[in-house]
Structure 1
Amino acid sequence: MQFLFKIYQRLTWLSLDVVLGAMAGMLFFERLLRVDLEWQEYALLGMAVWCIYTADHLMDARKLDSDHTENRHYFHLNYQKPLLALLGIVGAVGLVWAIQYFGFSQELFFGAGLGLVILGIMLAVRKLAEKQVRLKELSSAVFYVIGISWLPWYETPQIDYTWTAFGLTILYMGLAYLNLIMLSSLDTESDKEAGFVSIATIIPHENLYPRIRQLAIGLILVALIGLFLVNSFFRIFPSLLLIMVLLHYLSFFKSGQRPEQVRMRMEIAFLTPAVLLLL
């Protein structure tokens, strides 16, 4: 079991769990907005997400010294040269493939522009540091959901621009924000040691935990209300979000769990929309 955990740990350090979660999220919005996406679009999304997250971790790793520690940041520090090379290869292949698939279309320019905006915000957050640190997790959550949902939103006809779809998109953003502040709380000590700034290093533990609990309970209540208010076609979607929030809540507030175990359960929660493949 420990061997399997080590393998999974390395996969998470490579952000492959985030890639799969993003692809499952795009499936959620594909079915919600009743569009048909091709497998190439999922592959391109996965490559873009991997590039963004890997670039982010490599920028963080540059702040560290060379002492070996078992976590994601030191993994990227120790293997920064091969990861930089792989990042360049994946980025170049993804760009060429996107041009071949989409052509010089609005989809290509919007997707590329969105990627540049996300990278720009990542850099801006680092420059602003403690002054605007509370925006780090919020902006990341918003742009994460925009990134996985913009193509389904772009391809869906305007008749499907419903308040239900908008509401579920906002709820997904709330879930992504909950995930990020929970992860920030789990990484508080290691972030402080490495000199990183996050919402958990700024807000005291005794103040942050109640806020996390309140946000989680609020999202659970909104998902429950949505479950009863939407029509039968949409009911599966607040149900999935409710399950995902509950998995986060139970994982985070269950005592006796190591941070890596909690992280693993919360990241696996984002794979929940994959059940739509069976429906």
Structure 2
Amino acid sequence: MIVHFLNLDILLGILGGGIYSSVALGTPLPFSWWFVVPGATWCLYTADRLIDTRRSNNGYPTLRHQFHSRYRKSLTFGVVAVGAASAIVGVFTLPWESLFVAALVSILFGLHHVFQRMIGSRWLGAIKDVNVALAYIVAVWSVPLILADGIPTIAIGAITAHITMVAATIVLESLPDKVIDESLDQPSIARLLGEAGTRWFLFISIVTLVLCTWLLRTTMLWPVSLAWVACILSLPLVLRSQLSMPYKRLLIELTLALPIAIKL
């Protein structure tokens, strides 16, 4: 459970994404990438959740928010330390284009919180889920795409599969909190889509991943894509199980770490 509370499942997902993107594009990643990008992504996610906790004034009844509230000082110190180290190493070792992209994503997150505070619309918060997906995808693919000599046709299927699964995990993660979000009038993708919209979204995700699996059939990535299909089919059942919520979220997040199995 502590893996989820500390957002280490996010970190594992980024590591899995790095392996996946490197194989898809045939581009070895710089050694520093494996510290800078997971570290920076962890900082972004943790900072975002610390801000959410502060805004909710401990009124949001989830164990994750309670954990971030209880250990706010320690987590803030971790964000500052890891963020500074990631920035310093990244500036000296990664392509400058990737640093520019990272800055844009960080600014996007910052502007979102500023506008939400100024405008005061709760539904503006639902846009954050889109920002989260964008940040995750940029973290995984920006450096590999910058370093790649070109984009093979087969890589388009791999990129599409990964983007689809990232979006699906965000939708799946919002489902368990739908009742809580409604009672507190908190925005979420699950509330925006509704039950019918969520079912259609997951159905389209499955169809997309099946097509991507067929496109990737001659590569070592097709088992990952096929496993993601199985995850989308089975995770709704997990969400209805008696597992505690942190474990459910952990299982959802770890689906993005499945490419690590390629290296095992």
CA contact (8 A) 2:10 2:253 kept: yes
Contact 2:209 2:225 in 1 (8 A): yes
Moved more, 259-268 or 62-71: 62-71
1:16 pairs with 2:12: no
Length-normalised TM-score, structure 2: 0.85
Structure 1: gaps of 5 or more residues: 1-8
Amino acid at match of 2:172: M
How far 1:70 sits from its partner (Å)? 5.7
Rounded Cα–Cα distance in structure 2 between residues aligned with 1:42 and 1:211: 37
In structure 2, do the counterparts of structure 1 residues 46 and 229 end up closer, same or farther at CA, with 3 Å as the change threshold? Answer: closer
Q: CA deviation at 1:87?
A: 1.4
Shift of 1:273: 0.3
Give a deviation string over 1:219-253, Cα, whole Å, max 9, x none.
Answer: 222222233344613xx324312312321330223
Secondary structure of 1:186 counterpart: coil
In structure 2, distance between residues paired with 1:131 and 1:266 = 24
Residues in 2 aligned to 1:246 and 1:267: alpha-carbon distance in whole angstroms: 14
**SS of equivalent to 2:156:** helix
- Residues 1:156 and 2:141 are matched in the alignment: no
Report if the CA contact (8 A) 2:53-2:65 is conserved: yes
1:4 alignment partner in structure 2: none
SS in 1 for 2:56: coil
Q: Distance in 1 between matches of 2:116 and 2:223?
A: 34
- 1:37-76 matches, within 5 Å, as 37-66=29-58, 71-76=63-68
Q: Retained in 2: the 8 A contact 1:184–1:198? A: yes
The answer to whether the Cα contact below 8 Å between 2:161 and 2:212 also exists between their aligned partners in 1 is: no
Q: Which residue of 2 aligns with 1:143?
A: 135
CA deviation string 1:94-129 (max 9, x = no partner):
2122223248x3343333333333443455466574
CA contact (8 A) 1:21 1:268 kept: yes
Contact kept? 1:248, 1:269, Cα under 8 Å: no
Relative to structure 1, the CA distance from residue 231 to residue 39 in structure 2 (aligned partners, 3 Å threshold; closer, same or farther) is same
The yes-or-no answer on 1:256 pairing with 2:207 is no
Residues 223, 242 of structure 1: 8 Å contact kept: yes
Q: Which residue of 2 aligns with 1:200?
A: 190
The residue type equivalent to 2:105 in the other structure is L
Residues 1:62 and 1:188: Cα distance change in structure 2 (over 3 Å) = same
1:219 aligns with 2:209: no
Compare 187-196 and 143-152 and name the one that shifted more: 187-196
Secondary structure of residue in 2 paired with 1:252? helix
Q: Report the CA distance between 1:133 and its aligned residue.
A: 5.0
Query: Is structure 2 residue 92 aligned with structure 1 residue 106?
Result: no
Query: Retained in 2: the 8 A contact 1:252–1:262?
Result: no
Contact 2:24–2:221 (Cα < 8 Å) also in 1: yes
Residues paired across the two proteins, number: 261
Amino acid at match of 1:241: S
Aligned to 1:115: 106
Question: How many angstroms does 1:67 deviate by?
Answer: 7.0
Check whether the contact 2:39–2:86 (CA below 8 A) recurs between aligned residues.
yes
Deviations 1:245-267 (A, max 9, x none): 32133022344333333222212
RMSD: 2.7
Tell me whether 1:168 sits opposite 2:158 in the alignment.
yes
Amino acid at match of 1:219: S
CA distance in 2, matches of 1:28, 1:271: 9
Moved more, 263-272 or 213-222: 213-222
CA distance in 2: counterparts of 1:61 and 1:165, whole angstroms: 39
Q: Could you give the per-residue CA deviations for residues 171-193 of structure 1, whole angstroms, max 9, x where no partner exists?
A: 32221111111111112234455
The answer on whether the counterparts of 1:64 and 1:74 sit within 8 Å (CA) in structure 2 is: no
State the Cα distance separating 1:132 from its structure 2 match.
4.4
Q: Is the 8 A contact 2:63 2:246 kept in 1?
A: no
1:80 shift after superposition: 1.2
Identical columns (%): 21
